[in-house]
A and B are shown apart, each in its own frame.
Chain A
């Protein structure tokens, strides 16, 4: 690969890390706005993602107010909601659906896909594999700005007089195809589709970059088997993204045709608004297949990076090698493959052929096995560790707890016979918010705490981190655990109110608890926001390797410039998990330390590798990039 060695010579004479700002003679625009530096792009993704998370969180609190306090007078929200409040001071039922829809869309795509993968794949891939930047800095920059454009369009749709898209984040037609079915299916839905099309372009640009960077740009000695689990996770995530997002694009395109050009891909035999529509022969089920062909892999696009991040954090802070490195990689690979053949478990009772239901039940429950393996491996990594509860570690343990709690209910839902009753109830809401939403969110927050020193050269405040963790951890459990009971009782989701039904007349108390906990959890995030902003400017200066971690990013200067290492990129000699190795002086041996320097702790087969180290500085000739 004739690539990418960005300014290797300009940076060599700068060992003073304050000098980095002057390395490139760019201006404000090229350094901070249209930057091609993966670290700046990562921060752009992070900050945009945080803004979206805040918006998504506020939307959820708005609809939780309706559910928890159905009789409350919300007139005080008039300045924000305006015409979406009824004269009695209640949220308009249609706007309620818009809130639910936009909360889902924002959290799944803009926060946990772009905000999570965009931030950490960008930030960590070059730093942890020993590369100067992404394979294509320009495409990487485009990826962010496509995301930004998509964000702007989605944001604008919130303020339309007919409201944003309101048909649920899954935008099932015909509801989403017919403006006469609900207001949100008018211009709001059009903007949703446009924004998502651009979003998919952004995601693909990013994924292509991540994949080619991981394959082609690893430093000397960084074989695949020495990649940190973070990189494996980002790598698989990018592959899943490339294979599944185009299908959503196709689904959206056909929906655009149905909406605007009179085709009938998803529409048939519809009588609405006193009129029989001409469309015949289409199938709404087709859309569901296409949507979930992305939709289910999307769950893992959201989750795998979080699992990768926490694998790294848990190993580092347990001061132990991650247990079962190969099993962790293997189960991620297995999950990535299986994620493509389980999609129809979202559709057991949609009128799909029941035989398909059997097949998808089988495949779905197979995917539970590698997930269980991951949990066992995390727990075993803690065993006999020497655990340091950094904020990042707390959030990582929180993630494992959510992954366990939410994952286990997947066994109910994946079983088609049991799913009949649970489908589209609060049981499902509880399940995916814990296993996918909260777990991934915790992975993202853990990543921010852990790599903040590398991003901004300063430490975040640990005590605020503890408070943030405990409030959020308890808050999330109080929000989502009670929903299991509500769901077992049959309460359907996306209901504005349950008072029309005797069957669903109970649980006013639990619903109120959930809403209070949701408000509490949202406010706890301001502790984080404060800590984040405060620490960027006034945090303690970060030491070179604050967590005594083995991975390569901690060999860069405190504030790495564009190109990451001022001199040569370090060569890698070992895997990233040599923590607490018997015989070693310290309880960690970074990846760039050769075996020849650690005779006291080498295992027998490692001593043999020393000869190879002396020959060419690399144990396998597969790396060829940097000169």
Chain B
């Protein structure tokens, strides 16, 4: 993986269909920064897909200029241009008569790579998107689940290592759980690849999760607001944007923050083999019992501690914990489930601290104040 993202610049781009009064896209200007994910979000029919499709000229703009990495996209042969711009769509659009490996190898083939290089590349891409080449390369699309098809779609889009990737609701047709996984994987990939990605969706939550920047689009693809997700959540530009952000903006903002970004509290802890009488609670009313490898086991209350013979069976088990990578929204969920503090664990499941509601509230208020 060599090629990093290039900047995309749209300048006064307009698309007008003959015989229609209103333009489909009117005077659209935007800079998509190199190596970032920009999400176009807006209601159906607002022109977000049309705008995206003008970048690889599946739709020719009526006027305006588009440059990719400084190069005028309108001066490149459209087929060449599209071979250099990754493209992934809803329901993947895989070729049903090609195997998975053939599907992924199409663009390298069009670019004239030799057989060996293409085969190596296909294998690399399958590893990248988490499909075992041995098991999947000979399968046909209809033998895959929806989520697996989308992975192949992403692998195909990335196969020729394009600096720019266009994604049109690529996860729109899969179930919510799979969609969550695919989103996580896209973020993981992007951490490695640093492509410039234009991502179209009508799901604002998806936009918040994936976007480095979000463009909220209105009719004729007018930009209502173009900013970072937290800025849009904290401070929507107008009522339309606010309506689109929807209720629960504060909760959505919590999905942007990770547990590792906030200051953790500490509980009183004790090893599971310690004698109950040796535990020093001080001001606290609970002790967190850890196993031999420091993994959290149980919460024991002050009163139970007095009667308990050992810490192994006293109190109640820790049912829900979060990791440093979890979002604050997950942490909030854990707090609600646990009825108080959420236990935070590290990479090996070891105890690293606790998080309480006061901390979360403070974070939300600070976000509001900064925006």
Whether chain B is bound by chain A comes out as no
A residues adjacent to B (C-beta < 8 A): none
B residues adjacent to A (C-beta < 8 A): none
